[in-house]
Amino acid sequence: MGQTYAVSLKVGFLNKELAATALRSKLERAEKEHVNYDLDHYRDELGIGTDKIEDLLKIFFGGWYGNLRPEGDDERCIGSFFDASYGWESVMMDAFDLIAPYLEDGSEIEIYPDHGVDLGYVENGDVTWNC
């Protein structure tokens, strides 16, 4: 059982490497946090690894099928629409909180689950959520 998500993510990076490290650390806690990231599927069927920030954004925010587009040297956008478990909403919010210190002010995410909306906006390394 799950729900459908529409996600709009626009981020500018202060430090891509530290953002990638933060997301990889979340992947390492998968078993403890009871999250199945299905990394074998991403690697084997979609060619998505865990080394580059672009691939990590695809894993966490649904940019699996080429809908991640560069907006500049240090900016990335995702517009995605996908099905996932009900808990994936909190996974995305946690991931965005983790990378916030490495994002430029004005970076933002919009998460539209089946009902409602979660809007996150980065200022001074912190996320303000309007849910």
Domain boundaries, the chain: 3-130
Average pLDDT value for the chain? 87
Residue 67 has pLDDT above 90, yes or no: no
Token pair recorded at residue 110: 């919009």
- Helix 88-99 and helix 53-61, axial crossing angle in degrees, nearest 10: 150
| 17-53 pLDDT, tens digit each | 999 999 999 999 988 988 888 888 878 888 888 999 9
CA 12 to chain centre: 13
**Rounded to whole angstroms, how far apart are CA atoms 103 and 42?**
25
Question: 104: pLDDT confidence band, cut at 50, 70 and 90?
Answer: very high
Residue 74 has pLDDT above 70, yes or no: no
Integer angstrom CA distances of residue 51 from 17, 59, 108: 9, 12, 23
Q: How many H-runs (helices) and E-runs (strands) does the chain carry?
A: 5, 6
pLDDT at 68: 56
Residue 64 has pLDDT above 80, yes or no: no
Token pair recorded at residue 36: 């199945």
pLDDT at 51: 92
Residue 1 has pLDDT above 80, yes or no: no
Q: Which residue has the higher pLDDT, 83 or 126?
A: 126
pLDDT at 40: 84
